[in-house]
Amino acid sequence: MTSAAQPPNPPAPCSGDDDLRRRLERIEAERDEALRGQLVLEAQRDLARDVALRFEREAQQAREALARELGDALAGHAAALRSLAATFERRLAGREPSLAQLAALMTGATDGLLAALGSSLARIRPEPLGSGGLPAALRALLEDWRLRVPSMRFELLLEPSGDAAFGLADPATEEAALRIVAEALDNAVCHANAAMVVVSARRDGPMLVLQVSDDGRGLPGGPLAEGPGLATMHGLAARCGGRVLLATGESGGAELIAELRWS
């Protein structure tokens, strides 16, 4: 008798299929790990940004308190001193011309002290940006300098020129931009011996590009080049995802360029 036919053996698993499956599993595991890493990085960036914003708010509150104390303590005394010097100048003008000249010098020195105090307070506590946003605040800042230093020329260039087209950013970014320009203007007026300063603000995609150029004596050397003012500007730009560059401009003066993430 012939034996019954045996059922065929199942095919042995192909080693190539196992390799493919293992590669797919490894790719999926690596993808999941990459996604987890990306989520962790995003959470860390969000946390760092929140901490920076909270630090900036607390620092701003401290600056405002300091500005109030300085204004109350110094501005009143300086104004009283100026009033006394002006009174002496008027009373001595006809009787003691030499003493009247000294009183006039005291009046001028007190005016300089008040101007320097106002400039310092403006850097510590910039004027509110208000509803006009950065363009309007820059116009007000330059107009203030025109009134304080009429012998200098201050120009502002905006791109786009319309305030609505220029757009608004996060309040912390707008405040940082205004403080950077205020610091750069103060350097140009007080240290560069410049006759003209040009401020430009330009939207470049998601970035804001600020440029402050003067026709003064150029970049300083020594500690002034890396002084606290420049360190402040670097810190403000870094907290807004940007940077500050300092170079020699086409006119031979100093040129500061700040790039901040606007949107």
Query: DSSP letters of 225-251?
Result: GGSHHHHHHHHHHHHTT-EEEEEE-TT
**25-76 residue pLDDT tens:** 888 888 888 888 788 877 777 676 666 666 666 766 676 667 666 666 676 6
The percent of residues in the chain predicted with pLDDT above 70, rounded, is 73
**Mean pLDDT of all residues in 12-19:** 62
Three-class SS of residue 127?
coil
Sign of CA dihedral 58, 61, 67, 73: negative
**76-105 residue pLDDT tens:** 677 777 778 888 888 888 788 888 788 888
Least confident of 19-23, 43-47, 151-155: 43-47
Q: Integer distance in angstroms from the first to the last C-alpha of the chain?
A: 90
Report the chain's C-alpha Rg in angstroms. 32
Domain ranges, ordered by start, for the chain: 21-125, 129-263
**111-148 residue pLDDT tens:** 777 767 666 666 665 555 655 688 988 998 898 888 88
Reply yes or no on domain 129-263 having CATH 3.30.565.10: yes
Separation in Å, CA 83 to CA 1, 89, 90, 104, 236: 136, 10, 11, 11, 39
